[in-house]
Structure 1
Amino acid sequence: MLWYSFTAYVSGEKTGLILENSYSMGETLNGVSGLDINFEKNVIEQKLNELRLLGASDKDITQAMKDLGIQRARLYGWPNTYVFTKAMGEMLVGEFKANMATIILRPTIITSTFKEPFPGWAEGVRTIDSLAIGYAKGKLTFFLGDVDSVVDLIPADMVVNAIIVAMVAHASNQPSETIYQVGSSMRNPIKYRSLQDFGYRYFSKKPWINKDGKAVIVGKIRVMDSMASFHRYMALRYLLPLKGLEFANTAFCHFFQGVCSDLNRKISFVTRLIDIYRPYLFFNAIFDDINTEKLRMAAKSSLAENDMFYFDPKCINWDDYFMNTHIPGIVKYIFK
């Protein structure tokens, strides 16, 4: 038996209902032909060799390779390198699985644990957690995205349980390939608007205490519902003042060079970050989970320890989970 965990977001920016279908070798999201994994490897190696011959610094090499990855991903319809490489991984599994039972698990956005090993455990900063940290510390002043779109979340322990149950279900090792999309958008959807509300309510009652010992007061944040509104905001709030500062820097013999460079770097970082996460902030799809639901039904009827290996998102009360489990968990284990 082979099992692999990838991500539900190999679907790229597709809308509507995303089925639990596999990717065939060379398949692309936009119909552009010519995707060849060996060729992609050669492109990477050639670019690396070229940069090294030019004597590029490690920092410049890293940035150039990130840019190349996004360029190659978008050529074939994927929004970034992460989901592009995950999709190619699925293609390789399908190509070389031979006659083995193969399980491909596609979790959505993984959040802190629901129950096990204890509620609220988390490790590492996830996408939505970085938003919570920025908001609680007073650094996030606006939200970019469609607040009425569904955000697909699934606690980490439910993902682990789905893996275990799937392995038991396929223990006979009969030749097959089954894809399980493990998420909540189909059975128990939640919207970004609710996440905003949970954050405001929690940190209004239990504000973050900063390094100076002062409570950070949070408020309702501004919502930008389009990339156009974001670009207008950046232009008026940061780019125009930067132009003025650059003019003054030139007039005063580069006296403000350090400030200009720092502001330029921060603006570039935010712009790149938004560009990478834009597809998820405006994501408008639901992940079908027919195979996963069949797995849950099979577990209920045949697995004696079914209650121990829970992974049904319908059992989650999102209000209770965020207010009493997830947010307290990330404050305890992730906030620094």
Structure 2
Amino acid sequence: MTAIDIHRGLNGRTILLTGFTGFMGKVLTEKLLRCCPEVRHIYLVVREKKGRSATERMEEVLKDPLFSVLEKEVPKYRLRLTALSGDCSLPNLGLSDEDKKKVTDEVSMVFHGAATVRFDESLKVAYLSNVQGTKEVLRLAKEIKNLAVLVHISTAYANCHLQKIEERFYEAPMDDKRLEDMVQNMDDSILEAIRPKIIGRWPNTYSFTKAMAESIVKSYASQLPIVVFRPAIIVGTSKEPLIGWTDNLYGPTGIVVGAGCGVLRSMYCDLDCIANIVPVDMAVSAMLTGAIKRIQDPPADDTIPIYHFVSSTDNPLKWREFKRLIELHGQDVPPIKAIWCYFMTTHRYKINHYIAILFLHYLPAIILDTITKLTKGDNPNLYKIYRKIDKYSEIIEHFSIRSWDFTNDNMKKLRMMQTDKDRAEFNFDIANLNWSEFFYNYIRGLRVYLLKDGMETLPKARVRWHRFQIAQRIMLTIFYLFVALMAYRLFTCFLSITA
């Protein structure tokens, strides 16, 4: 079995990356710049937005605490980093002629991560970003003179209409040409009206368009050296460069923050299903290893290697344990912005969940909004916040009430091919990840990096949290006494009628 040497594989490479401003793109860029000095240069395709140039947007991202360690250890890292103004949905990625020539002449590795990850995105936007963008990257890659590997970042849930998902390609959801014609020629309102029929067994436009993109990638098997990387639900860092760093509320992170702030009090979830989460830093290390494996030990035929980076196979975490850990570690570091103490209920049946959100979300929101309007004259907004929270919950519930059977044989073999040095520096051994330790750091990271709530506010936040707990116990006691009184009266009324 050929040993993989990442540093040797990256020596002298110039890399093209799409999706730099995304969660995984930031961590990948930071890792390459900090740990891989042999990388010659990195070109980032960045879309101009709201009057800000590609370089300005890059510089804004680089101010994130994620890059603070890099700033200290490699102060001149910017010399190896260039933002190219572009748009992945356009021909040649929207690059200027000069920038395109740089890419085709200098680049030897491509990481395609640009995508919209919103589950509720319109079909047209999701198609342009996830499918059309992939087409344009593949077309440009064919013009790159010395391409060694192209990594297509997909998702483990691209084929979530299936129960068992293997590390191989599956049939496309529909003919791409037909879908392209519909997206280009149909009115947006009509396209959205028939969206459920178009996506069929896929739960959202994200997984649907990711499946479509994979079918496009498959058609280039004999033309380009490709690797497909399918991570599970990506969450904050486990170790590096900062413990517990994250920058978004997607997926389970929104649940943790919502519950920790006392806002989210009910979740539609089967506690015996698997929360298939993976730390982003481990996902990046796995992806880099897979890319170098394609360079140093290419397949004998035109096969495109596919790698599942999932936790459900080797280190499964049930939602029951997920809930226990966020309560255990979250109550120790409550955020100063919390509006109530932790009190999250989970329900396997939707009717129970609806009853819970009526009494735990909407009724308190209406009462508090009314009090606010009468006493302060302010425009109340808690009810509107809960409408958004419940809309978000509906979007992710498909993944909280189901489990999938993922195979990951290719990923296991990849791990075995690492050198001892690479295992230490590019660790993705998910089987040995301690979930309790991870959540301990993850929740503290959410407080500091996402909520911007420094640990110096912790003493005050704990006092408020304790007061919320006392108030909740009093309210629950009153509620249970009221229910008992009503039950007693009904019982005595029944006895008097039957006497």
Q: TM-score range by the shorter chain?
A: 0.7 to 0.9
Alpha carbons of structure 1 residues 262 and 198: separation in structure 2 relative to 1, 3 Å: closer
Aligned residue pairs total 288
Q: Does 1:221 align with 2:375?
A: no
Q: Does 1:190 align with 2:313?
A: no
Cα distance in structure 2, aligned partners of 1:269 and 1:200: 23
Q: Unpaired segments of 5 or more residues in structure 2?
A: 1-148, 366-378, 453-499
Cα distance in structure 2, aligned partners of 1:67 and 1:202: 44
Cα distance in structure 2, aligned partners of 1:275 and 1:89: 25
Cα distance in structure 2, aligned partners of 1:116 and 1:280: 27
**CA RMSD, 1 decimal:** 2.9
Corresponding residue to 1:230 among 353, 356, 360: 353
Q: How does 1:1-336 map to 2 (within 5 A)?
A: 1-15=149-163, 17-24=164-171, 27-28=172-173, 35-47=174-186, 50=187, 69-73=195-199, 75=200, 77-172=201-296, 173-174=298-299, 175-210=302-337, 216-233=339-356, 269=388, 272-300=391-419, 304-323=421-440, 325-336=441-452
Residues 33-58 of structure 1, C-alpha deviations (whole Å, 9 max, x = no match): xx1112212222333xx35xxxxxxx
1:6 counterpart letter in structure 2: S
Alpha carbons of structure 1 residues 67 and 294: separation in structure 2 relative to 1, 3 Å: farther
Residues 80-113 of structure 1, C-alpha deviations (whole Å, 9 max, x = no match): 0000000001000001232433210000011111
Partner SS, residue 294 of structure 1: helix
Structure showing greater Rg: 2
Cα distance in structure 2, aligned partners of 1:46 and 1:285: 36
Is the contact made by 1:180 and 1:292 (CA closer than 8 Å) also made in structure 2? yes
Match of 2:42 in 1: none
2:198 counterpart letter in structure 1: R
- With normalisation by structure 2, the TM-score equals 0.53
Alpha carbons of structure 1 residues 36 and 158: separation in structure 2 relative to 1, 3 Å: same
Alpha carbons of structure 1 residues 239 and 111: separation in structure 2 relative to 1, 3 Å: closer
Q: Unpaired segments of 5 or more residues in structure 1?
A: 29-34, 52-60, 243-257
Residues 202-230 of structure 1, C-alpha deviations (whole Å, 9 max, x = no match): 232222112xxxx6552442221122323
Residues 215-254 of structure 1, C-alpha deviations (whole Å, 9 max, x = no match): 6552442221122323444567789999xxxxxxxxxxxx
Residues 286-332 of structure 1, C-alpha deviations (whole Å, 9 max, x = no match): 321111001111114xx643321111102210001111x21111111
Cα distance in structure 2, aligned partners of 1:217 and 1:266: 15
Residues 175-205 of structure 1, C-alpha deviations (whole Å, 9 max, x = no match): 3211100011111111111121122122322
Seq. identity, %:
24
Is the contact made by 1:100 and 1:176 (CA closer than 8 Å) also made in structure 2? no
Alpha carbons of structure 1 residues 269 and 122: separation in structure 2 relative to 1, 3 Å: closer
Superposed displacement of residue 163, structure 1: 1.4
Cα distance in structure 2, aligned partners of 1:234 and 1:141: 7
